[in-house]
Structure 1
């Protein structure tokens, strides 16, 4: 995993398993934030990057978008070496603690109260729908993506397949 600086304050790291899996480091006034925990294999390169690329700047927190295995895999090794707060949306806590399973959220299941999934993917530089297999409710996921259309970010980083420019324009074609 190599880190690539995307903006003045944001770096992206990527590993392949079997699709690209992304993590980000965001530099703020209060230190560095790791967004998502990626795969277990990402820990050694991340550990090295913290000592080289970010020399003198401390990792102060971890922010999880959700608890899929490819978003939390590095956390076990990371928390053995560093004592950091891990933040996630309150709806994700039962999944992260093992109390609930994402598989119960499929259509026809009893538990439909939380609808996780990766919001977008990118394929050949174009914004794409989330991966169907890992998305409990495609319609809800696409509706959540309307935020991109409203905010109009210059860059949109996706958990799988990288970063896309002007996602707000491409979002219209997904719905």
Structure 2
């Protein structure tokens, strides 16, 4: 299978790569030399960059923010996050990062992100994101169309 980088992967492609279950958003890339540390494996901080890059794409694709600085989009901040490193990554390995909303409230939502390579889960990142007014003055409610998308596409649940 030819893996296409920086392009959303279909559920069928994800399944063919051993990603189970497929995620609403998944994109592939390859480990670069600049991402290695002195032990010749991917530096721990790089995983956070990979997760962030897909998380930004996710919030854009789902219509949460366009990051245009116009004052109309909410600020999106990570309230909490937990990463688990399961297996190291090395030079030239292909990998896929996935992202899905698992639950949401009025102004916050939980994301589950996964890093896969060679059909093996290499790292996970679970986080809670909060939407704030663009000037930071208060909370920003999640629009109804985004809430619908969380439920219909991601299978997320509304939390009380």
Which structure shows the bigger proportion of residues in helix conformation? 1
Short-chain TM bin: under 0.3
Structure of greater relative contact order (alpha carbons < 8 Å, 6+ residues apart): 2
TM-score w.r.t. length of structure 1: 0.25
TM-score w.r.t. length of structure 2: 0.26
Which structure shows the bigger proportion of residues in strand conformation? 2
